[in-house]
Amino acid sequence: MAAAASDSLLLRSVRGAIYQLGEFVHVCAIYLGIAVLVTAVLSVALPSLRQQALRIHEALLIALRPDGYNQDLYAMFASDGGFVAAGDLAAGDPAAGDPARPDAAAGPTGSVPREDARAFENAELTSRSPAAAQLSFNHALKAAMAGRHVATLTSTQAQALRSYIARKYRIAHAVAGALVDTAFVVGTEKKLDPQLLLAVIAIESRYNPYAESHVGAQGLMQVMTSVHKDKFDAFSEGPIAALNPIANIRVGAHILQDCIRRRGSVESGLACYVGATGPSDGGYGAKVIAEWRRIALASGIPVGR
């Protein structure tokens, strides 16, 4: 009797062990099957995911790349060649030419090299080639923060313009300096009074480079990218370059230059620029010209036509 009970207990123990072993094997088989399935799916999907990850990585590198990484930069904004240090070109210095004329040649007084107005026409900064269209406002800012300015301005004129614009439109002093330098370089290239460009920027956007109107005009000079899309073809960013201060000023100045040429005068050109089709521009031209004169009064540089 005792032997039978012992055999029954042993049999139940063996059966329990076999059952648990079977459950273990079953669970292992399930997990092994899942692992095989996941491996098969990943082997198919991983290459495309990897390509997508690489594309996202490249896009992030482009988006987060600092301005200074661009290989083709405005030459004068990338070096000291087109700038002079603050204080090196004093107002009224005979060697500096007529201080009231922004296109007066700067003479070699001191150790800092100077370039006259013709240098602007030949420099990469004013080149019309696509290679010069890769812009870096960062370099213009660095030059302004270091107290340098374009050689067509005296130190007094540059400081006066920066202070007037920074104070009136509540922007950083260095940003005002960079925009002044850009306006004088582009204005020299386009044979437009740089202070007229500064006045147009003031009326159009109040120096907000990210301004956008209800009709889609963008940037400092409120360029209609939908209308002038072709003018941004030279820029690698395309129409989005309208939000780049230098690109926007260059394209806006080109449009204004063409308007003045076709209409025959600054007043009529401004009406063309704002899109007026009738005899009245709604007072736009008068506002720009009034600000133009105020800027000229602040800088001491006479209004040029």
Q: Which amino acid is at 254?
A: H
Neighbouring C-beta atoms of residue 71, cutoff 10 Å: 6
Model confidence pLDDT, tens digit, residues 199-228: 999 999 999 999 999 999 999 999 999 899
Per DSSP, which regions of the chain are E strands?
83-85, 148-150, 217-218, 223-224
Q: What is the dihedral of CA 222, 227, 232, 236, to 10 degrees?
A: 100
Distance CA 19, CA 25 (A): 10
What confidence score (pLDDT) does residue 192 get?
Answer: 96
What confidence score (pLDDT) does residue 128 get?
Answer: 42
Distance CA 78, CA 81 (A): 9
pLDDT band for position 59 (cuts 50, 70, 90): low
CATH dotted code for 74-299: 1.10.530.10
Task: Tell me the pLDDT of the chain averaged across its residues.
Answer: 76
What confidence score (pLDDT) does residue 41 get?
Answer: 76
Nearest to 134 by CA among 222, 217, 68: 68
Model confidence pLDDT, tens digit, residues 14-41: 777 787 888 888 888 888 888 888 887 7
What is the DSSP secondary-structure string of 205-269? HTT-TT-B-TT-EETTTTEETTTSGGGGTTSTTGGGGGGSHHHHHHHHHHHHHHHHHHHSSHHHH
Could you tell me what percent of the chain has a pLDDT over 90?
A: 45
Please give the residue that has the higher pLDDT: either 107 or 172. Answer: 172
For residue 124, pLDDT beyond 90: no
For residue 185, pLDDT beyond 70: yes
Distance CA 2, CA 133 (A): 102
Model confidence pLDDT, tens digit, residues 234-291: 887 788 889 999 999 999 999 999 999 999 999 999 999 999 887 789 999 999 999 9
